[in-house]
Amino acid sequence: MSSEGRRAFGARVAELRRQRDLTQNELAAVIGRTASWVSQVERGIQPVNRLDVLRLLADGLGVPLHVLQPEAVDPRLTGVGAADEAVPNDLDQARLVISGHSALDVVLEPREDFRADAVQELRDEVERVWRLTHEDRFADLSRALGTLLPRLERAVRTAPGEFAPEVHRLLARTYQALSAAFVRQDEADAAWLAADRAIRAAELAGDRLGVFVGVFRLVHAFVRLKRLDQAEHAAAAALNTLTRHAEAESTPPEELSVLGSLHLALALVHARAGERSAAREQIDKGRAVAARLGVERNDFNLEFGPTNVEVQAVSTAVDLGDAGEALDTAEGLDISVLSTERQARLLMDLGRAHVQRRQLGDALACLLKAEEIAPDLIRTHIAARAAIRELMLMAGRSASSELRGLAERTDAMG
């Protein structure tokens, strides 16, 4: 795009933004970028060449892509390749698997081909799926689900009564993992579908807490879709019901893990809505539940406990723009007890906090460390890529080779 073309495009963005009565800060919040990035786009300084960024901007402005950029060609609609064609998503295979019914032959011709000795194999595969999810190994996860989900969908339709509850529970756990992975790769519509299926499978399994775990995953899908009203409704409804059952001292730790995780999910909703007091209230409630547990647990792969509450508190503070509070909260935290994904997430959020304070060196160090332990998370997470773009804008021509390399590896150059 020429300099003249960038200025014309920027003027179009500014006009469309004003038509929607949005400030630069508000538009930036909607599309997950910074106000300085929006400002530079509107002034014709920052080029917008990638198709996925154009689509994101068009969605934020509430207009079709062709209105924002008439020359743009969307290969998803035309089938025609282009220089800006989106890079395939690591979970594309998994998305295809859930796009239809995985056991149509069993529905059409009911049969009894269930093997009791296959249950342990399915347990092992579901455990592997969750390990891949926690390690953010999305391409491997997608391949594993390509065979596991159809097997589980067949199993729940052919298992005799004595095995049916466990097979349904395994199916619910698998869809929970898939929903979590889709959220991290910004496939929120697929995450919603997977969470809904997880809720249904848990209910069929008679797994009452599993139903609430499915709601937890659903809340995160709604947040990623920016449907904060739906996210708040789902989280608050689940908390109102579960809190009444968790008041007794004899409450099982598994139930406390789910309760605390839902408080953290609601804190995320309030933080994204800019509601400071409400977000901090939910963090404090999560801390109280974690204190009752006293240890880190991983019930339902929720990774809830005192340290994980503080990790979420850091993320919440960053979302609210309170970088100093985030850095103070993280000081002295022992994250060695956490999964790779949680460690990388904390480092990513610390990088974002340093970006907010314009501490380029510290920000880059955190993001590089996060990339070292969980490269897929940094490559695909919207917040991480936004932080790296902001670093590039702040550094300008003086950007170091390390920063440029990170931006290239995460496709965060423009």
pLDDT in tens, 10-27: 899 999 888 888 888 888
Same domain, 182 and 271: no
- Kindly report the CA angle at 378 between 142 and 324, in degrees rounded to 5? 140
In the prediction, which pLDDT does 78 show? 40
- More confidently predicted of 361 and 115: 361
The residue among 315, 338, 361 that closes a domain is 338
Question: Confidence class of residue 413 from pLDDT cuts 50, 70 and 90?
Answer: low
Q: How far apart are CA 352 and CA 226, in angstroms?
A: 20
Model pLDDT, residue 69 = 81
- 205 with 101, same domain: the answer is yes
In this predicted structure, the answer to whether residue 76 has a pLDDT above a threshold of 50 is no
Task: Give how many domains the chain has, as a whole number.
Answer: 4
What six digits make up the tokens of 141? 């996860």
Asked if residue 196 and residue 153 are part of one domain, the reply reads yes
Where do we find the tokens 């800006």? 84
**Residue finishing a domain among 321, 338, 355:** 338
Give the integer Cα–Cα distance in Å for 207 and 165: 8
Task: Please give the share of the chain, as a percent, with pLDDT higher than 90.
Answer: 52
Please check whether residues 162 and 266 belong to one and the same domain: no
Specify the pLDDT at position 85: 39
Is 222 inside a domain boundary? no
Question: How far is the CA of 293 from the CAs of 262, 300, 304, 307, 341, in angstroms?
Answer: 15, 15, 9, 11, 22
**Residue 221: inside a domain:** no
> Residue 414's pLDDT is what?
56
Give residue-wise pLDDT tens across range 122-144. Answer: 999 999 999 999 887 888 998 89
Domain-terminating residue out of 171, 187, 215? 215
Band the pLDDT of 340: cuts 50, 70, 90: confident
The CATH number of residue 34's host domain is 1.10.260.40
- Residues 197, 116, single domain; the answer is yes
Structure tokens at 137: 């190994």
> Same structural domain for residues 181 and 276?
no
Which of the two residues, 222 and 85, has the higher pLDDT score?
Answer: 222
Instruction: Categorize the per-residue pLDDT at 405 as very low, low, confident or very high, splitting at 50, 70 and 90.
Output: very high
Contact 163, 182 (CB under 8 A): no
Residues 199 and 241 in one domain: no
DSSP 46: S
Extract the tokens encoding 86: 């989106």
Range of the domain at 306: 227-338
Residues 209, 132 share a domain: yes
- Residues 98 and 207 reside in one and the same domain: yes
Residues 96 and 201 in one domain: yes
Are both 198 and 99 inside the same structural domain? Answer: yes
Q: pLDDT category, 339, cuts 50, 70, 90?
A: confident
Asked if pLDDT for residue 249 goes beyond 60, the answer is yes
What per-residue confidence (pLDDT) applies to 71?
66
